[in-house]
Amino acid sequence: GQQVMQIPQYQHVQEGEDFTTYCNSSTTLSNIQWYKQRPGGHPVFLIQLVKSGEVKKQKRLTFQFGEAKKNSSLHITATQTTDVGTYFCAGHPTTSGTYKYIFGTGTRLKVLA
Partner 1 sequence: DAGVIQSPRHEVTEMGQEVTLRCKPISGHDYLFWYRQTMMRGLELLIYFNNNVPIDDSGMPEDRFSAKMPNASFSTLKIQPSEPRDSAVYFCASRGPSRDGYTFGSGTRLTVV
Q: Taking CB under 8 A as the rule, does residue 14 contact partner 1? A: no
HSE of 102, CA atoms in CB hemisphere, 13 A: 24
Question: Closer to partner 1 at the Cβ: 65 or 101?
Answer: 101
CB of 34 to partner 1, least distance (A): 8
CB of 65 to partner 1, least distance (A): 15
The sheet carrying 19-25 orders its strands as 4-7, 19-25, 71-76, 61-65, 55-58
Contacts (CB under 8 A) with partner 1, residues 22-81: 33, 35, 41-48
Q: Using CB under 8 A, which of the segments 11-19, 65-73, 76-84, 96-104 binds partner 1?
A: 96-104
Closest CA to 68 of 36, 101, 107, 26: 26
Q: Are strands 10-14 and 107-112 parallel, antiparallel or unpaired?
A: parallel
Terminal CA-CA length for the chain: 40
Q: Taking CB under 8 A as the rule, does residue 106 contact partner 1? A: yes
Which residues of this chain interact with partner 1, rule CB under 8 A? 33, 35, 41-48, 88, 90, 98-101, 103-106
